[in-house]
Amino acid sequence: MQTHKPHNHQEHQHQEHNHDHGCGCSHDHAKTQHGCSTEKTPVGATAAHDHQAAHEHGTSCCSSDGPDDPDEESDRLAAVPPSGSQRFSWKVTGMDCPSCAKKIENAVTSIPGVDSARVLFATEKLVVDAQSDVSMRIQDAVKQAGFTLLGTTPAAQGDEPKTSRFGEYGPLILLSALMVLSWVLDFFNPRLGEIAFIATTLVGLVPIASKALRLIRSGTPFAIETLMSVAAIGALFIGATAEAAMVLLLFMVGELLESYAANRARRGVKALMELVPEDALLIQGSVRKRVPVASLRPGDVIEIAPGGRLPADAELLNPFASFDESALTGESVPVERQQGQKVAAGSLSVDQAAQMKVTSEPGKNAIDRILQLIEEAEERRAPIERFLDRFSRYYTPAIMLLAVAVILVPPLLFAEAWEMWIYRGLTLLLIGCPCALVISTPAAITSGLAAATRRGALIKGGAALEQLGQVQTIAFDKTGTLTEGKPTVTDVLPAAGLSEQQLLAIAAAVEAGSHHPLAQAIVNRAAENGAALPLAEGRRALAGIGVEGKVGR
């Protein structure tokens, strides 16, 4: 019989564990009122931000350096609400692009009693400082602008409406089909084709013009939807029916692509939030009970099952235990922790049940601090984004005023023909649409951030992404960056009397069922070699040493 001690991991039973960790988060932001979280903040109070920097944990999530750009200063959310204000927060659904965030801010800030409003696009969060509880009016204003508010609690976010594929792609599919039909009709009968293009344009105008009207009523009269609607209608008047329909089709395609890119970018944030389970096993003397993670407080004792994730930052009470912290650090090899050492929320207990003492307040664990960094990065927009925000603020009304001037000035002052100058003014509206700028730039930045997230890199916003082009030297962290972060067996050196195949079979038999990455590497190598695994008996881990088992020969 053989005894095998290949690596260092904790005591376990070599059995399959249930890895269903839930999909909720532990963000207990505040008391919920009307589907939002709110907190009254007197003068001199600490920040009421949901994901505060927890400096007592040794992680600074706040920067004391002021921004160099005054526009960047205006992007920041005030750390402390004004005197006597309350801070409300909601989750916003229905945003396709960063410009949607500005539309929501305009709608909310127009409400009397609202001091400030900030929409964090990456985390889909609306934060409002108001002198009184105007939550119902805020919800009405956001709904009128075409978006939906949900509470910040996991239960409220569970009520998020599901968007059907037809509802998302239906208008674009319908408009595309009508465009193809119009081209076919135009090929055989130009007169009938022109009528078809007019009908296609009117169908495409319905969702865009209705959204433009909602935005006008909510305080954003010069939105891109407004200019698109006016340009399409103007194109119909000058007889450019095919161009009118095509402009609307391209606009819908751009909106859909931007929505897709935004959703891909948010997946990394959602995956991070899902590292924290919804409930925890609380131990109170001899009583064990499941409780919501939001109810945990520092000093509570909880137990984490093998394969379970920590719902909060906690201190280990066991003599030692092994934790997989790869979700936070990228290091795939489990970390050995001794009694009294702290372990971050989201870490996974590898091989044994571990009793832990909670050390973090709700909403202030390691995952929440990372989420706060993402929110702060959201507020530090790229210089090109801030420029385009200012540009689009003045460009759209300027183009519309210029088109009106082109239509009115020559006929009134110089007795020119009205028909020609109306045609030119409407042409200016059509070609002056800034969709290439105001849509493509945020979409490009969002897509870049999403592509980096899919490859394991979390970039702190558009400003950092833009600065990457000026980087001269890059220093890499090896694990998970230059390497896959997954150990593999490179060489097998059998002792005398054993073949490589026999050694792999014996080692894999002892390691089978272990969650340790080194154990899995050995089992995978044996499977690749087609080794038949013998039966291993008495398998057990030697805490801090390795694993052993008996294999009959």
Inter-CA distances, 477 with 312, 329, 474, Å: 26, 10, 10
Nearest to 325 by CA among 302, 342, 349, 352: 349
Provide φ and ψ at 372, rounded to 5°. Answer: -65, -40
Query: Is the torsion defined by CA of 521, 522, 524, 528 positive or negative?
Result: positive
Say how far apart CA 549 and CA 536 lie, in whole Å.
Answer: 6
22: how many CB neighbours lie within 10 A of its CB? 15
Say how far apart CA 149 and CA 119 lie, in whole Å.
Answer: 12
Rg (C-alpha) for the chain, rounded Å, is 30
Say how far apart CA 34 and CA 15 lie, in whole Å.
Answer: 46
Instruction: Copy the structure tokens of residue 66.
Output: 């002021």
Task: Give 279's strand partners.
Answer: 292
Angle at 259 between CA 28 and CA 79, to 5 degrees: 35
Nearest to 355 by CA among 367, 368, 330, 337: 337
Inter-CA distances, 353 with 25, 172, 294, 305, 318, Å: 22, 52, 22, 4, 9
Catalytic choice (75, 133, 300, 477): 477
Q: Which helix (H) or strand (E) holds 393?
A: helix 383-414
Give helix then strand counts, H and E, for the chain: 17, 17
Pairing of strands 125-130, 114-120: antiparallel
Instruction: Copy the structure tokens of residue 34.
Output: 């009307």
Annotated catalytic residue 133: no
Q: Give the residue numbers marked as catalytic.
A: 477
